[in-house]
Amino acid sequence: QKEVEQNSGPLSVPEGAIASLNCTYSDRGSQSFFWYRQYSGKSPELIMFIYSNGDKEDGRFTAQLNKASQYVSLLIRDSQPSDSATYLCAVKGPRYSTLTFGKGTMLLVSP
Amino acid sequence: NAGVTQTPKFQVLKTGQSMTLQCAQDMNHNSMYWYRQDPGMGLRLIYYSASEGTTDKGEVPNGYNVSRLNKREFSLRLESAAPSQTSVYFCASSGGLAGDNEQFFGPGTRLTVL
């Protein structure tokens, strides 16, 4: 049984700060890792994915992957109130085409 | 392009009633998925279809059936609704130029079973 763990939050940061969201996973065979953002009452949308150890940057977002420690994180630089949402971590293994989602972390960015 | 569409947006059922949730995508994706999302439980996969003509169970398939009608459409049926099936249901698809790396989600169906 694959498990993906996230702190439910809420994580509160002031506008302009760096928000750090963390996720751990149980299946060492997992190969691809995804971060989705979900605004209240809306559907999830993909922010970025990563499959190699290290950092991957896309604008204000940086995904970090450490397979040895089985964690993946998402950093949001210069956080904006519009970043306030629930962030879902998802994991895909080598044998499955499906994703296993964590329960999500709620981020609140205050002006 | 409409992306992934779902109908209905809202539905209230009585225990024991049946209904079908409809999903369609216009992105020529091979793979389609049904999830449910409950407070504090995250997204859980109910069923998925890797290609037209195939369906497989996900994490929580009990009480549901699916039909991959054609490449565009993937429906979810509740034969005898129970209060435990009160949830928000999302359909998703993947498989375009980005492969299966990105799942595109529909707007969701909010279902209440009384």
Q: Which two tokens stand for residue A67?
A: 């397979």
Percent of chain B clearing pLDDT 70 (strictly above): 96
Residue B38 near chain A (CB below 8 Å): no
pLDDT at site A14: 97
pLDDT at site A93: 73
Contact A97 B105 (CB under 8 A): no
pLDDT higher than 70, residue A94: no
Give the closest of A32, A49, A98 to B45, CB-based. A98
Note which residues in 1-20 of chain B have CB less than 8 A from chain A.
Answer: none
Residue B32 region, left (φ>0) first, then alpha (ψ -120 to 50), else beta?
Answer: beta
Residue B27 near chain A (CB below 8 Å): no
CA triplet A80, A81, A87: central angle to 5 degrees?
85
Q: Is the Cβ–Cβ distance between A38 and B107 less than 8 Å? A: no
pLDDT tens digits, A7-49 = 988 999 999 999 999 999 998 888 899 999 999 999 999 999 9
3-class DSSP assignment, residue A21: strand
Residue B58 near chain A (CB below 8 Å): yes
Calpha distance A26→A70 (Å, rounded): 7
Which residues pair with residue A87 across a beta bridge? A37, A105
pLDDT tens digits, B9-45 = 999 999 999 999 999 999 999 999 999 999 888 899 9
pLDDT higher than 90, residue B93: yes
Note if the bond before B83 is cis, omega within 30 degrees.
no
3-class DSSP assignment, residue B80: coil
pLDDT at site A95: 61
The residue with greater pLDDT, B53 or B65, is B65
Residue B50 near chain A (CB below 8 Å): yes
For residue A51, give the nearest of A20, A93, A21 by alpha carbon: A93
Note which residues in 66-95 of chain A have CB less than 8 A from chain B.
Answer: 88, 90, 92
Q: Mean of the pLDDT values across residues B34-61?
A: 92
Percent of chain B clearing pLDDT 90 (strictly above): 82
Report the mean per-residue pLDDT for chain A: 93
Contact B33 A98 (CB under 8 A): yes
3-class DSSP assignment, residue B55: coil
How many CB atoms neighbour CB B70 within 10 A?
A: 10
- At B2, the pLDDT band (50, 70, 90 cuts) reads confident
